[in-house]
Amino acid sequence: MKAIVIHGAKDLRVETTTSEPLGPGQIRLRLAAGGVCGSDLHYYNHGGFGTVRLREPMILGHEVSARVMELGDGVTGFCNGQLVAVSPSRPCGTCRYCQEGLPNHCLNMRFYGSAMPFPHIQGAFREELIVEAAQCVDATGLSAGEAAMAEPLAVTLHATLRAGSLMGKRVLVTGCGPIGVLSILCARRAGAAEIVATDLSEFTLGLARKCGADRVLNMATHPDALADYTVDKGHFDLLYECTGAAPALSAAIAALRPRGIVLQLGLGGDMSLPMMAITAKELDLRGSFRFHAEFATGVTLMQKGLIDVTPLIPHTLPLAEAEAAFRIAADRSQAMKAQIRFADA
């Protein structure tokens, strides 16, 4: 079978690898669709991010849907050909954080396609994948592309849960890449009364509006667009910070009201923050990282039509053109999200 393997910056290969044996409690899957994520792009463009560097070839990918091929001993509740969304979250279940109900902080996490540990954790972009049954969530009724969106949707659902209730709240979203736009979908679903989104690209802002933003602001053409929101110590209750860029965060902080919450989703390096404003307005800056139970929740919300991710996924390419998918995913002027089609899904 074939897999998408990164060997170094700009060195992406579709290679043949061997199938793995199927154990008890596991399921053999035939991959349907796989989305290219920001961290995949980092490995492709730079060979890593921050201090994390590729030290051996690694299969990429952790946003995948698949069809059931074969059930291991003891597995029930699935049938051949069934579409499933595959959670890349594989916590150990026994470390102190797992036992506290915080599996996303597992000390032994084996998240797909990560070069953080060595040997690296191989990813999910392969035609055949062996998974634990608990990773599979029934996705009947969804397209393969929608099911593959369960992973980034889970990231934004998890962040949304970190914010407490959004009912009737005023929400600002800085950065309208996939995570920003999914944040808009989540905020609207969670009852936000007002959603304003900022970005530097008209293309992504158009999509933000299509996905529910009440107003979109192009900070490239109107750098002071948030100024109206700074009177009386600020306007917004909640900020989804999806840029990882200090200037975006600083401008947004001025528009947050006292006791406002910042959800930090954009992964950057060190950032210079206006601590005087954070202290004096008693803001609450909360990191949000990955997800666990939210993966299944997101699939349910999509199945019930309560969240519609289809506007985000117009670009799908066959496995043979995997590298083109990576290039498209990196071009924010034309694409939000690129997916790779592994089989006739």
Read off the amino acid at residue 277.
A
Contact window for its own copies (CB under 8 A) among 7-15, 89-97, 117-125, 218-226: 89-97
**Toward its own copies, which CB reaches closer, 36 or 109?**
109
The dihedrals phi and psi of 68, each to the nearest 5 degrees, come to -70, 130
Q: Please state whether 57 falls in left (phi above 0), alpha (psi between -120 and 50) or beta.
A: beta
Of residues 10, 13, 224, 289, which one binds its own copies by CB under 8 A? 289
Decide: is 73 part of the binding site for its own copies (CB under 8 A): no
Strands 194-199, 215-218: pairing is parallel
Question: What's the closest the beta carbon of residue 140 comes to its own copies, in angstroms?
Answer: 16
Residues 237-276: x where in contact with its own copies by CB under 8 A, - otherwise, as a string: -------x-------------xx----xx-xxxxxxxxxx
**299-318 residues near its own copies, rule: CB under 8 A:** 300-301, 304, 306
Decide: is 93 part of the binding site for its own copies (CB under 8 A): yes
Contact window for its own copies (CB under 8 A) among 7-15, 54-62, 144-152, 190-198: 190-198
Question: What's the closest the beta carbon of residue 230 comes to its own copies, in angstroms?
Answer: 13
Question: What's the closest the beta carbon of residue 297 comes to its own copies, in angstroms?
Answer: 4
CA distance 233 to 243: 23
Decide: is 165 part of the binding site for its own copies (CB under 8 A): yes
Contacts of 142 (CB under 8 A, 6+ apart): 65, 83, 85, 299, 302, 303
**Toward its own copies, which CB reaches closer, 10 or 96?**
96
The dihedrals phi and psi of 32, each to the nearest 5 degrees, come to -105, -65
Q: How many CA atoms lie within 13 A of 204 on its CB side?
A: 29
Strands 136-138, 83-86: pairing is antiparallel
Contact window for its own copies (CB under 8 A) among 28-36, 58-66, 162-170, 219-227: 162-170
CA distance 211 to 205: 10
**Toward its own copies, which CB reaches closer, 60 or 166?**
166
CA distance 233 to 278: 12
Of residues 3, 84, 131, 166, which one binds its own copies by CB under 8 A? 166
Of residues 20, 220, 223, 280, which one binds its own copies by CB under 8 A? 280
The dihedrals phi and psi of 337, each to the nearest 5 degrees, come to -155, 135
Question: What's the closest the beta carbon of residue 265 comes to its own copies, in angstroms?
Answer: 7
Give the DSSP H/E element, type plus range, for residue 147: helix 144-148
**Toward its own copies, which CB reaches closer, 214 or 308?**
214
CB burial of residue 165 (10 Å; 0-12, 13-18, 19+): exposed
Read off the amino acid at residue 194.
E
Do residues 167 and 144 touch, judged by C-beta distance below 8 A? no
Please give the size of the binding site for its own copies, defined by CB under 8 A.
Answer: 67
Contact window for its own copies (CB under 8 A) among 7-15, 36-44, 75-83, 191-199: 191-199
Q: Is 179 helix (H, G, I), strand (E, B) or coil?
A: helix
Do residues 155 and 290 touch, judged by C-beta distance below 8 A? yes
Decide: is 220 part of the binding site for its own copies (CB under 8 A): no
- With the CA atoms of 331, 240, 297 and 208 taken in that order, what torsion angle do they form, in degrees rounded to the nearest 10? -50
Decide: is 102 part of the binding site for its own copies (CB under 8 A): yes
Contact window for its own copies (CB under 8 A) among 10-18, 58-66, 67-75, 101-109: 101-109
Question: What's the closest the beta carbon of residue 209 comes to its own copies, in angstroms?
Answer: 14
**List of residues contacting its own copies (CB under 8 A):** 50, 93-94, 96-105, 107, 157, 160-168, 186, 188-191, 193-194, 214, 232-233, 244, 258-259, 264-265, 267-276, 278-289, 294, 297, 300-301, 304, 306
